[in-house]
Amino acid sequence: MTRQRAGLIVLCLAWFGVIAMFAGQGARPLWLMAGWITTTGPGLLAAIAVLGSAWAWGRPMRRWMLPTAGAADRIARGIVDCTLGLVLLQSVAVLLGTVGLLTVPAAWIVVGSGLLPLFAGPDDRPPATEDRGRPFSGWWIAAAALLAPALLAIGGPLLAADEGQYHRRFVEFILTHGSFPADAEDAPTGFAQGMHALGTLGAAIGSIGALRPLAFLMGLGGILMGERLAQRLFGRLAGGPYLLIVCGAATALRVVPTFNTDLTLAPFVGVAAWLALDWAREPGKPAGRPWALALVGGGALSIKFTAPLFLAPLYLVVAIPLLLKPVAGRGPALARLAAAAVIPLLFALPWLVKNQITAGHPLWPILGMDAPSALEAAFVFNLTANYGPGGGLEAAARAPWDLFALGREFDRRLYLGRFNAWPLVALPGLFLALRRRPEARTIAIAAALGFVLWAGPLRRAVYLLPLWPLLAALTAGGIVEMMRLIPQPALNPASVAGAILLGAVATAEAAAPWSAHADLAGVACGEQTLEEAAEEAIPDARLLRWLRENTQPDETIAMLWGWHAWDLPNRLLWIGAEDFTPLRLRIHRAGSAEGLKHELVDRDVRWIVHRDVLFLRGAYPMVSDDQFKQAFTQPLHIADEALNRYATRRFAHGPLTVWELDRK
């Protein structure tokens, strides 16, 4: 650094100090910044500590298994390190939670011991020939602007759909009891608990406010890994367009600051894609890649059961050259690949065994709800055509158009989702690029298979987020390839116009989530409490406050058509969303208002939360009129009759009421 530059830096810092000294008390921006640091900052620091611990543990793991992984890309290498370390931390936390030992002191020990390797061992310095790229450019500034409001949203209340339903209360349950919740009448307890285990590590250090920052940083890791893949597959020019494509998607921007199990899978999918490319380059020399793929797959499966839909195609593209070409060492390589595909199941064993013991089926509540055979179509849960207007070839062929061009939500009822139209626009260019880029063909095949698997049983925009960075990378490659078709004299003006168009579309797509995130500035900066913000955001907040003030933590609450629980410590029965399958099935089996009362008394229920809902016949084209009547209409009538005959209303606010059951 020259003396002139050092002097300019000192002058700038001195000027900042003058502003802070004389205008700090009355300057609104500085006051808000200080509020953000003291309010949101501790949670962010706790999340950084968890990821720092993961990186510290992952670095020696990567050196041992993958000594050449990311040799020319320090950013990709760091993400691989962090992802492998997250798998280790998650596995330790899950094992502790399984045996009831995931307490606050245990979480401190797990994270703290992971930070110790930061102070030991030689530094992993990049080689002198490493291509460091150009990290600071207009593309990065534009992407940062699109993501900036998420820094406010990470300080907001955990009121997104799954956050309010079970994420927050499950983490608080673990912090209190040291174990994972398990209740056959509380369906979300049957889902994988890996993300809750990681969230507990952060919450033990920085309170519940660490959950959103942790998920935010993991989502950013997946986005950044996609950028490295875009540059690896299509050259440095693809990195810029990728940033605006991946960040210019409304669904991604809405989800990235929330505590979720979708975009947080993106770094696992991205690292698996990177490893698959390395292995496909040397099919007969797997080295440590199978074990790294097994760890990444296991970590992802511990977070969400949808992970195999996106990871299995990556395993397949590794197997294709081994099966089709006479490669030396093919037998051992295939055996290791098969082991890498099976080992992730071991990571899922804790929650599979827990479900078997608790509810009698390892995949409960996804499967195993024992619905009447004549009404199975009306009681499906997360599978078959319930998430769409129908299956078949026509629906599958229409899926890309509906998702990218129209932004329609496939279940046509809840969870509106939207990406952008660039994947369709760039498709001709992508086909041109694939002719001469074999690595891109590998990822394109895997991404296409993943999209087809997603469009079958899931068909929900948010569930595609783990694959979105790969799709955006391929899209960026297609756009760059089409730009190469433009004659040289017109290339520069066309590039500027294209960049402006990408920015304009990204801004339009980001407008709604940008505004929603900015509304949380008061909470993130300490001007408004989480409880006040919750009362403004959802009608359930007043009801939840009434329950906290008027019920005992050991009392059981039945949720009739309700899904917001937020921080209630009580045991909750039948909480749900969407189609309320467990609740409808329970009421259908009760058969009458008197039968439902006996179900409630047998479960020691005193309080009942009821929400006014209406199931629309047109939203369920896959069921007959009689099936709809038995599985949707009748349960509503039975629940209403049971409340009117056997309960007393104690609280009402909007569509929500609290009833006290007469248990005599």
Question: Does residue 594 lie within any of the structural domains?
Answer: yes
The gap from C-alpha 376 to its chain's centroid, in whole angstroms, comes to 29
What average pLDDT does range 176-198 have in this prediction? 93
Q: What is the dihedral of CA 538, 542, 543, 548, to 10 degrees?
A: 120
DSSP state of 285: -
**What count of other Cβ atoms lies within 10 Å of the Cβ of residue 360?**
11
Q: Which two tokens stand for residue 270?
A: 């991205």
Q: Are 272 and 295 in contact (CB under 8 A)?
A: no
Q: Identify whether 10 is part of a domain.
A: no
The pLDDT, as a whole number, for residue 128 is 44
- 3: pLDDT strictly greater than 80: no
Pair 339, 453 in one domain: yes
Residue 109 domain boundaries: 37-123+134-516
pLDDT band at 415 (very low <50, low <70, confident <90, very high): very low
Residue 18 has pLDDT above 60, yes or no: no
* Residue 167 CA to its chain's centroid (Å): 12
7 found inside a domain: no
Is residue 551 helix, strand or coil? coil
Instruction: Check residue 120 and give its pLDDT.
Output: 56
Q: Please, is 9 exposed, middle or buried when counting C-beta atoms within 10 Å of its C-beta (0-12, 13-18, 19+)?
A: exposed
Is pLDDT above 60 for 608?
yes
Q: Are 38 and 526 in contact (CB under 8 A)?
A: yes
Q: Measuring CA to CA, how many Å separate 321 from each of 31, 175, 199, 333?
A: 59, 47, 39, 11
Q: How many residues does the chain have?
A: 664
By C-alpha distance, which of 1, 150, 124 is closest to 71?
Answer: 124
Whether 316 and 425 share a structural domain: yes
Do residues 336 and 389 both lie within one domain? yes
Residue 322's pLDDT is what?
87
Closest CA to 154 of 207, 217, 198, 206: 217
Are residues 371 and 225 part of one domain? yes
Unique residue bearing structure tokens 């009760």: 590
Q: Determine the pLDDT at residue 328.
A: 82
Q: What's the rounded mean pLDDT across residues 584-600? A: 95
Distinct helix (H) and strand (E) counts, the chain: 31, 5
Angle between helices 74-98 and 344-359 (to 10 degrees): 30
**pLDDT of 188 over the 70 cut:** yes
Both 512 and 555 in a single domain? Answer: no
Alpha carbon 34 to its chain centroid, in Å, reads 29
What's the predicted TM-score (pTM) here?
0.92
Give the span between the Cα atoms of 371 and 84, in whole angstroms.
40
**Co-location of 215 and 331 in the same domain:** yes
Boundary (domain end) residue, out of 482, 516, 550: 516
Residue 566 is predicted with a pLDDT of 83
Q: What is the pLDDT of residue 401?
A: 78
Note whether 474 and 538 are same-domain residues: no
Q: Please indicate, yes or no, if residue 128 is contained in any of the structural domains.
A: no
Assigned domain for 12 exists: no
Task: State CA 607 to chain mean position distance.
Answer: 33
Return the pLDDT at 117: 67
Amino acid identity at 226: G
pLDDT tens column, 203-216: 999 889 999 999 99
pLDDT of the residue at 389:
44
| 571 shares its domain with 497 | no
Share of the chain above pLDDT 90, in %: 58
Residues 332 and 199 in one domain: yes
Q: Which two tokens stand for residue 242?
A: 């990728």
On whether residue 20 sits in a domain, the answer given is: no
The pLDDT of residue 413 is 40
Name the pairing type of β-strands 656-661 and 571-573.
unpaired
What pLDDT, on the 0 to 100 scale, is given for residue 537? 81
Q: How does pLDDT run across 84-143, given as a tens digit for each residue?
A: 999 999 999 999 999 999 999 999 999 998 887 666 555 555 554 445 455 457 899 899
* pLDDT range class, residue 429, cuts 50, 70, 90: very high
Rounded CA-CA distance 182/214 in Å is 24
pLDDT at 414 over 60: no
Per-residue pLDDT at 25 exceeds 60: no
Mean pLDDT of 39-60: 94
In the three-class reduction of DSSP (H, G, I as helix; E, B as strand; rest coil), residue 389 is classed as: coil
CATH of the domain at 620: 3.40.50
SS3 of residue 616 by DSSP: coil
At 507, list the tokens: 């801004």
The DSSP 8-state label assigned to residue 282 in this structure reads: S
Same domain, 267 and 397: yes
Those residues with Cβ within 8 angstroms of residue 444's Cβ, 6 or more apart along the chain or in another chain: 430, 434, 474
Query: Model confidence over 341-374: pLDDT tens digits?
Result: 999 999 999 999 999 999 889 988 878 888 888 8
Q: Quick one: 508 and 615 in the same domain?
A: no
Last residue in a domain, options 489, 516, 543:
516
Q: Please state the separation of Cα 580 from the chain's center in Å.
A: 22
Six-digit token pair at 356?
């078997």
Question: Could you give the percent of the chain with pLDDT greater than 70?
Answer: 87
**Predicted local distance difference test score (pLDDT) of residue 384:** 41
CA distances 516 to 155, 457, 538, 589, 644, Å, are: 13, 30, 14, 42, 39
Q: Provide the pLDDT confidence category of residue 650 given band limits of 50, 70 and 90.
A: very high
Report pLDDT digits (tens) over 196-252.
999 999 999 988 999 999 999 999 999 999 999 999 999 999 999 999 999 999 889
Rounded to an integer, the average pLDDT of 477-497 is 91
d(CA 555, CA 105): 28
Q: Please determine, for residue 641, whether its predicted confidence score (pLDDT) is greater than 90.
A: yes
Cis status, amide bond into 332, omega within 30 of 0: no
**Residue range 542-569, pLDDT digits in tens:** 899 999 999 999 999 999 999 888 888 9
Give a yes or no: residue 462 inside a domain.
yes
With 60 as the cut, is the pLDDT of residue 456 above it? yes
Q: How far apart are CA 46 and CA 49, in angstroms?
A: 5
**Total tally of structural domains belonging to the chain:** 2
Q: Are 263 and 216 in contact (CB under 8 A)?
A: no
**CA distance linking residue 495 with residue 267, whole number of Å:** 30
Under 8 Å between Cβ of 539 and 656: yes
Does 161 lie in the same domain as 53?
Answer: yes
23-40 average pLDDT score = 69
Residue 478 domain-assigned (yes or no): yes
Mean pLDDT calculated for residue range 280-285: 85
Helix (H) or strand (E) holding 656: strand 656-661
